[in-house]
Amino acid sequence: MTNALLHNARLIDPEAETDTLGWLRIEGDRIAEIGTGPRAGGLDCGGACLAPGIVDVGVKVGEPGERHKESFRTAGRAAAAGGVTTMVTRPDTMTPIDTPEVLDFVTRRAHDEAQVRVAPMAALTKARMGREMVEIGFLRDAGAVAFSDGDAVVADTKVLSRCMTYARSLGALIVSHPQDPGLSGGAAVTSGKFASLKGLPAASPMAERLGLERDLTLAEMTGVAYHADQISTAAALPALTRAKAAGLNVSAGVSIHHLTLNEFDVGDYRTFFKLKPPLRSEEDRLAMIEAVRDGTIDIICSMHTPQDEESKRLPFEVAASGAVGLETLLPAAMRLVHGGYLDLPALWRALSFNPAQRFGLDGGRLTEGAPADLILFDPNAPFVLDRANLQSKSKNTPFDLTRMEGKVFGTWVGGTRIFGGGA
């Protein structure tokens, strides 16, 4: 049974929105006691920040089918190093997670191999083909926390509306990738002068707006709990604002890459910067930050998407999309703090409290009785990222050789320290 005292720490409480100097006592797998001011004994945190572990939504793990890109063991190590204590994983594996049997395999592998908690999503349609609904009830009973076809948009509106109606009857959450597939298909970058100069296939930001408008209309019709996995354009925000004002059960996320990078970072066809959706304009990036700040966007995630070297060392338009992010989520997010856009409690609300609440997970809180899933970090510690040192099996990060700030000193899951030295 774990018993530990952590003192002389800045306690970051996203629920109360406070940042205070104090101490925390762990008993078993729970937070037993929290207090402010000095207290002797235990682990001296040296004034570092102690916060709930990050709950990262949309993590891609390559099991089953693509273990050469990422396994539960390497993803778990990367998460621990990045202060991520819960991974909400995607179902877009080589054998999609569309039956209770595949979900059971994934759940057992995650339990045996990953150091952190894993909350799996299941596919929304069979084989992610957008034609036939999965057995939502059985998959939910087997442990699926949400249902999504990932970046495979369900183009048939009737199929999607039926899925939403059935999910609503079971109280299940649907996660969608808001894009109009007709406009966004085959695109590598966002349309505009930069795309024209580079000669790359591009998609209008309106593809996201059209996709979101359709999804929100169906969410209104069915009453389903709906989450947009990534919003990345200012054009899509008014629809989201209206839906929330109307009282719809909707939420939205944004990737840390779309909050900290823009279309010009692609530079001379740098494929580590090829993402889905593609990087947007600087105006869109700033609009996303403001949307997080005012609560229009609820969740910040890494959208961790490992790709091997062979998938990335190709011409930009045919290279695989995505970047790893479990270990870079925190230092990249510190740019928002150091830039004066968000304070730490507000940031942690989007990184930990909100995703835990939205996906029905017991975490994201720094209160007595909450799970002792914790991260100890220094938001100001500088370093230069070397992708060769990442714990992820794949190394496709856009932040390679970038000067960053924010180091994780310790990660606890259920009261057990899984990263960092000391007690």
Domain residue ranges in the chain = 53-368+387-404
Listed residue (146, 203, 204, 210) closest to 178, CA to CA: 210
One DSSP character per residue, 365-410 reads --STTSB--EEEEEEEEEEE--GGG-SSS----TTTT-EEEEEEEE
Bridge partner residues of 72 (DSSP): none
Q: DSSP readout, 23-48?
A: EEEEETTEEEEEEES---SSEE-TT-
- As a residue count, the chain comes to 423
Residue-level pLDDT at 344? 98
pLDDT tens digits, one per residue of 369-379: 999 999 999 99
**Stretch 55-84: mean pLDDT, rounded?**
97
Q: What is the pLDDT of residue 423?
A: 39
Cis before residue 96, ω within 30 degrees of 0?
A: no
Measured CA to CA, the distance from residue 129 to residue 146 in angstroms comes to: 17
Sole residue written with tokens 């925000």:
237
Retrieve residue 95's tokens: 């054998």
To the nearest whole percent, how much of the chain has pLDDT over 90?
95
Rounded average pLDDT over 333-351: 98
pLDDT over 80 at 217, yes or no: yes
Torsion of CA 192, 197, 202, 207, to 10 degrees: 0
pLDDT of residue 1: 56
pTM above 0.75, yes or no: yes
Q: Which residue reads 């091997």 in tokens?
A: 308
Mean of pLDDT over the chain: 96
Q: Are 336 and 347 in contact (CB under 8 A)?
A: yes
What is the CATH architecture assignment of 53-368+387-404? Alpha-Beta Barrel (3.20)
Average pLDDT over residues 169-183: 96
| Lookup: tokens for 228 | 């947009």
Q: What is the pLDDT of residues 276-295, one digit of tens each?
A: 999 999 999 999 999 999 99
Q: Are strands 250-255 and 189-190 parallel, antiparallel or unpaired?
A: unpaired
Question: How far apart are the C-alpha atoms of 145 and 128, rounded to whole Å?
Answer: 17
- Write the CA distances from 401 to 2, 106, 267, integer angstroms: 38, 34, 15
55, 85 contact by CB (below 8 A): yes
Question: Quick one: which H or E segment has residue 107?
Answer: helix 100-113
Residue 213 is predicted with a pLDDT of: 98
- Other C-beta atoms within 10 Å of 85: how many? 30
| pLDDT tens per residue, range 259-275 | 999 999 998 899 999 99
Q: Which amino acid is at 217?
A: T
Q: Is the dihedral of CA 43, 47, 48, 52 positive or negative?
A: positive
Structure confidence at residue 40 (pLDDT): 86
pLDDT digits (tens, 9 = 90+) for 242-264: 999 999 999 999 999 999 999 99
Q: Write the pLDDT tens digit of every residue in 188-207.
A: 999 998 889 889 999 999 99
Residue 351: pLDDT band (50, 70, 90) is very high
Residue 198, pLDDT score? 87
CA distance 292 to 14: 14
| DSSP state, residue 265 | G
Closest CA to 325 of 350, 346, 307, 342: 307
- Which residue, chain included where needed, has tokens 């310790």? 410
Amino acid code (one letter) for 86 = T
Asked whether the predicted pLDDT for residue 80 surpasses 60, the reply is yes
Contact 179, 277 (CB under 8 A): yes
97 contacts 122 by C-beta, under 8 angstroms:
yes
343 pLDDT above the threshold of 80: yes
